[in-house]
Amino acid sequence: MTRSRAGLGKTLFWGGISALFYFGLFYYAEEFLHLAHTTQDACAVTEGMDTLYYNKTTPDLCVAKGGSFIKGTWWFVFAPIAVAFTLSFVHGVATGLFWDRLGMKAKK
Amino acid sequence: MELINFIEINATTAIILILVGFVGGLVSGFIGSGGAFVLTPAMMALGAPGIVAVASNSCHKFPKAMVGVFKRHKYGQVDVKLGLVMAVFAEAGVLFGKHVMTGVRNSFGAVGTDLYVSAIFILTLAIVGGYVYKDYRKLKAMDDLADEKQQLTRLARWVQSVRIPGTMFYSRGAQAEISFLFTIPLGFGTGFLSSAIAVGGFVGVPGMIYVLGVPAIMASATEMVIATATGLGATILYGMEGAVDIRLAMLILLGSLFGIQLGAMGSTYVKDYEVKFTMAAIMLTVLFSRFFYIPGYLNKLGMMEPLQESTLHILKWIGDGVMFVALIVGAYTVISALLRGMKEHRERQSVSARESASD
């Protein structure tokens, strides 16, 4: 008895959701970088188009560098974890459907 | 003040990360060893400092391992109890290992972590890769039939015979009652290595096989339970240091979730020794590649006579090339095992269908 393959519509739907999440991640890349660098106290220094984040800083050191001091928020650490959980679920479903659609199966 | 640099990501870097992630996932799904021993060095080759490579890889590792656990649990390959027991001690190892890493960073900066990560890679890959290769040779030399019942090492036989009251639990993988005390050094070592190079499986998988007597395929699947726990632990600890680059992690995840499912499927078609061959081949190739990066790190830390820029450039180029070979070896081994296994399985099924039709 042959097993049926995943429906094309379902595969495309989950693939589309996954693509949307990835687009969102890179559209808001700057914001995510900000969250990553400010889990501890940081000094944001603008150099041209880029913002550099220095850690192990104090307000005085930061002012001397010409940057703006940002107090650290430890629970920003959960931002990448939440993104990782979400994408692993959505993208996991999409990739599973993808291989199933192509007829790749495990040995029973 | 200290700057932890996140690399610039353009289209080329993104495509490389996705492809590297795919191969890492393939290898990980197949042998259960995180795949990070190609991913961590690959990210460092792209310019990420050692601590960022390990931190971001941990953030990619835990969701990918979670997907792997669900898939391989469906195939009956996961010993959940053993995985959870080892995960507890692995977290202690992660805490200690992160402390060492940040100590290195505080004393020697991000370049110091490059050297630290590479040194641990070389040591671990040499010991484990060499041992697994020796074991593969031994198994291959035996008749295929003999491989159906895995030969326990003397150490595993002894471990399974030890009875320590109040510490025993039944391991589905080992098919024996074992004392959790034996899992302490294995779990702690897995966690420490996980936070040093984002590859705990180098201790965990061979440890389960050779010390506890768990078959290779179950050891690699059970390792994913530990990898989920240590990956999450390391992500939180390194995230607090500002070292997790979610863009790197998710680009690798994009490729690796395609790869891990193929790798997991491939693992159902192969014999134990084929898994060991794949492990050994890739480990030893990556080991070889790491040697070419060491002079560059020593040079940047001022720990050796200054080298010419062109010499450093050539060494890095060779190192990248050997890494590339490791990726190709990994991908080829897993995909060919899967396709060959599927073809043989289909042929066997059509032969038995023809035979039952003619009865």
> Taking CA B241 as the corner, what is the angle to CA B236 and CA B242, rounded to the nearest 5 degrees?
95
pLDDT along chain B (359 residues), means of 10: 79 91 84 71 83 88 82 87 93 90 85 84 84 80 56 85 90 89 92 83 85 88 88 89 90 90 82 78 83 82 78 85 83 84 84 78
How confident is the model over A26-50, as a mean pLDDT? 86
Q: What is the pLDDT of residue A4?
A: 60
Please name the residues in contact with B11: beta carbons below 8 A apart, sequence gap of 6 or more: none
- Write the CA distances from B301 to B37, B49, B279, B310, integer angstroms: 24, 13, 32, 18
As given in the structure block, the two tokens for residue B307 are 């080298």
As given in the structure block, the two tokens for residue B241 are 């240091």
Q: How far apart are CA B28 and CA B62, in angstroms?
A: 12
Please name the residues in contact with B340: beta carbons below 8 A apart, sequence gap of 6 or more: B269
Q: What is the pLDDT of residue B88?
A: 93
The closest of B1, B76, B282, B154 to A53, measured between CA atoms, is B1
Q: Which residue of A has its CA nearest to B349?
A: A1
Q: Which amino acid is at B164?
A: I
Q: What is the pLDDT of residue A2?
A: 47
Q: What is the pLDDT of residue B187?
A: 93
Residue B125 DSSP one-character state = I
Most confident among A1-15, A55-69, B270-284 (mean pLDDT): A55-69
Chain A nearest C-alpha distance from B245 (Å) = 7
For the beta carbon of residue A58, count every other beta carbon within 10 angstroms.
Answer: 12
Q: What is the pLDDT of residue B34?
A: 55
The contact set of B with A (CB < 8 A) is: 1-4, 6, 9, 59-60, 62-64, 66-67, 71, 74-75, 232, 235-236, 239-242, 244-247, 249-250, 253-254, 257-258, 261-262, 264-265, 268-269, 338, 341-342, 345
Cβ within 8 Å, pair A65-B342: no
- Determine the residue among A95, A99, A102 to mutate to test chain B binding: the one whose Cβ has the most chain B Cβ atoms within 10 Å: A95
Q: What is the pLDDT of residue B83?
A: 93
Kindly provide the ipTM of the predicted complex, given to two decimals.
Answer: 0.87
Concatenating the DSSP letter of every residue in B19-85 gives HHHHHHHHHHHHH-S-SHHHHHHHHHHTT--HHHHHHHHHHHHHHHHHHHHHHHHHTT---HHHHHH
- Collapse the DSSP code of B312 into the 3-class scheme (helix H, G, I; strand E, B; otherwise coil) and give the result: helix
Cβ within 8 Å, pair B239-A81: yes
Cβ within 8 Å, pair B235-A22: no
Q: What is the pLDDT of residue B122?
A: 85
Stated as kind and residue range, the H or E segment containing A63 is helix A59-65
* Sequence ranges of the domains in chain B: 11-351
Cβ within 8 Å, pair A107-B247: no
The widest CA-to-CA distance across chain B, in whole angstroms, is 81
Chain A nearest C-alpha distance from B128 (Å) = 29
CB burial readout A26-51, b (16+ within 10 A) else e:
eeeeeebbbbbbbbbbbbbbeeeeee
Cross-strand partners of B170: B177
- Determine the residue among B10, B244, B334, B349 to mutate to test chain A binding: the one whose Cβ has the most chain A Cβ atoms within 10 Å: B244
- Collapse the DSSP code of B78 into the 3-class scheme (helix H, G, I; strand E, B; otherwise coil) and give the result: coil
How confident is the model over A28-43, as a mean pLDDT? 87
Contact list in B for residue A65 (CB cut-off 8 A) is: 1
Cβ within 8 Å, pair A25-B246: yes
Q: What is the pLDDT of residue B250?
A: 92
